[in-house]
A and B are shown apart, each in its own frame.
Chain A
Amino acid sequence: MNSATLPAANRTESPLASAFRQALPIILGYVPVGFAYGVLAQKSGLSGINTVLMSVLVFAGSAQLIAVGLFAAAASPLTIVATTFIVNLRHLLMSAALAPYLRKWSKPQLALFSYEMTDETFALHAGRFAKGETAPLETFGINVIAQSAWVGGTVLGLAASTLITDVKPIGLDYALPAMFIALLLGQLKSRLHLLVAVTAGALSTVLMLAGLSQSHVLAATILAATLGLGAHAWTKRRSS
């Protein structure tokens, strides 16, 4: 099941065409969210250049939307930077999880790769890398296409911000959740993985509802992965 939920590799396809095909759900998801960010940033008093620069330099969907809200509420720069740090801290775990697959990559390649590692590009790469698909050209292709969609959406939002007040995409805001469903299915490699997934999902929801709105993903991930490790050790001891 895990290889099948990702697009089947087409031998004659060029790396960039393959990157584009795999990144398509990200494009569909990023353009409208980038658009919404562009509109909100304008309304929050960011100049056009700063609005686009944030998408180029930071490239973090939820953190950018939260930051724009904080700018609008006249929060201090320190508050905005600290909030961004907490919101994006989950990438620490994603970066660590991909490390074992990238032994052959050079430091500059790794440095460039992590610059464009978002929730969505991570989700795609976690599936690809596990199948041995770590070709740099295709990997960077996916990342650059994803960020282009994000920056493109931002520019469109900027251009339309005087015309549009509310963004309500027909079904486009489900492109990323649907992609996550497909990629999550591909990650369910064993019963233990299923246990970890159910635990992480439930914990994350409970923690978010309990008011831990910025770090529930990070906390739930660490706890569930540790439970998985413990359950593995326990079943191994019982069977030996």
Chain B
Amino acid sequence: MDQETIFLTILGMMAVTYIPRALPVLALARRTLPEPVIRWLGFIPVAVLSAMLVPSLLAPEKILDFSLRNIFLWAAVPTFLVCWKTRSFVGAVVTGMGCVALGRLFLT
């Protein structure tokens, strides 16, 4: 594919990415929404975060993996505990990365 066609494809990608990002917030921000809609939208962050995170921990290679080799899954345990007990956001991230680095060193 020549570079001009690639560029035009990128412009198409830009449009189809931007429109779903912009339309809802532009259309809804000023509007008074019915109570059930607000409540439903209130569940979206927790649902979408979990929907993105859980598969990446349980099946990083697109198959369920509960073995010790699945470092992403086991590193989640100390990350979760540190976040829960110390309530430190940075602490959780550092713990997670450290555990993955150590896991790679010793387990693989």
* A184 B12 Cβ-Cβ under 8 A: no
Instruction: Please tell me if the beta carbons of A111 and B14 are within 8 angstroms of each other in the complex.
Output: no
Within the assembled complex, what's the spacing in Å between the Cα atoms of A122 and B62?
A: 24
- Asked if B52 and A204 make an inter-chain contact with CB atoms under 8 angstroms apart, the answer reads yes
A50 surroundings in chain B (CB, below 8 A): 3, 6-7, 10
* B96 A99 Cβ-Cβ under 8 A: no
Main secondary structure of the interface of B (DSSP, over half): helix
Partner of A181, one of B36, B59, B96, B101: B96
Asked if B48 is at the interface (CB within 8 A of a chain A CB), the reply is yes
Question: Is B29 close to A, CB under 8 A?
Answer: yes
Classify chain A's interface size: 35 or more
Are the C-beta atoms of A200 and B59 separated by less than 8 Å?
no
| B9 adjacent to A123 (CB under 8 Å) | no
Q: Does B107 contact A (CB under 8 A)?
A: no
A25 part of interface (Cβ distance < 8 Å)? yes
8 A Cβ contacts from B21-80 to A: 21-30, 33, 36, 38-59, 62-64, 72, 75-76, 79-80
Contact (Cβ within 8 A) A71 B1: yes
B41 near A77 with CB under 8 A, answer no
Contact B62–A208 (Cβ < 8 Å): yes
Q: Is A58's CB under 8 angstroms from B13's CB? A: yes
Q: Are B1 and A184 in contact (CB under 8 A)?
A: no
For B50, list chain A residues within 8 Å (CB): 184, 196-198, 200-201, 204, 224
Residues of A within 8 A of B8 (CB): 77
Instruction: Give B11 Cβ to nearest chain A Cβ, in Å.
Output: 7
Which of A81, A187, A198, A204 is B13 in contact with, Cβ under 8 Å?
A81
Q: Bound complex: CA of A81 vs CA of B53, how far in Å?
A: 25
Bits for A58-102, please: 1 = Cβ < 8 Å to B, else 0: 111001000100010010010011101100111111111111101
Residue of B23, B55, B92 near A92 (CB, 8 A) is: B23
Question: Are A100 and B93 CB-contacts (below 8 A) given A95-B23, A177-B72?
Answer: no
Q: Which residues of A contact B14 (CB under 8 A)?
A: 57-58
Q: Across the interface, do A67 and B64 meet the contact criterion of CB distance under 8 Å?
A: no
- The verdict on A202 contacting chain B, using a C-beta distance below 8 Å, is yes
Q: List 13 A-B contacts (CB under 8 A).
A: A80-B9, A80-B12, A81-B12, A84-B12, A85-B16, A95-B20, A175-B97, A177-B76, A178-B96, A185-B80, A197-B50, A203-B51, A209-B63
Asked whether, in the complex, the Cβ of B29 is within 8 Å of the Cβ of A5, the reply is: no
- With A100-B29, A221-B47, A228-B39 known, 10 other A-B pairs at CB within 8 A are A45-B1, A50-B3, A105-B29, A107-B26, A114-B18, A114-B22, A115-B22, A174-B75, A197-B47, A228-B43
